[in-house]
């Protein structure tokens, strides 16, 4: 089973990487960009075939290693 994880900074947390991308886009002449937020995207190939168990395991992976839950949100898609 494949798990796709999006890890994004929580609202209100400063995103210097996103800001840098925004400035770079502006200096390249791309107007009309109001905000840029950069996050991480992780794809996992799991041997687990049970959806509920897979979600529980990936959730635990996010909380213990992949995301910093103080400043980041995570979202798991199984498919």
Q: What minimum distance in Å lies between the beta carbon of 78 and a copy of itself?
A: 14
- 70: helix, coil or strand? coil
| Strand (E) or helix (H) holding 18 | helix 16-27
Contact set for a copy of itself, span 31-60 (CB under 8 A): 31-48, 57, 60
Quote the CA–CA distance of 3 and 26 in Å, as a whole number: 34
Q: CA 42 to CA 71: how far, in whole Å? A: 18
Site pattern 1..20 for a copy of itself (x: CB under 8 A): -----xxx---------x--
Q: Which residues form the interface with a copy of itself (CB under 8 A)?
A: 6-8, 18, 21, 24-25, 28, 30-48, 57, 60-61, 64-66
């Amino acid at each position: 089973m494949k798990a796709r994880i999006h890890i994004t900074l929580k609202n209100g947390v400063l995103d210097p990487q996103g800001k840098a991308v925004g400035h770079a886009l502006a200096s390249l002449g791309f107007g009309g960009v109001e905000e840029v937020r950069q996050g991480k995207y992780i794809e996992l190939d799991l041997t687990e075939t049970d959806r509920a168990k897979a979600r529980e395991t990936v959730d635990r992976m996010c909380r213990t290693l992949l995301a910093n839950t103080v400043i980041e949100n995570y979202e798991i898609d199984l498919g």
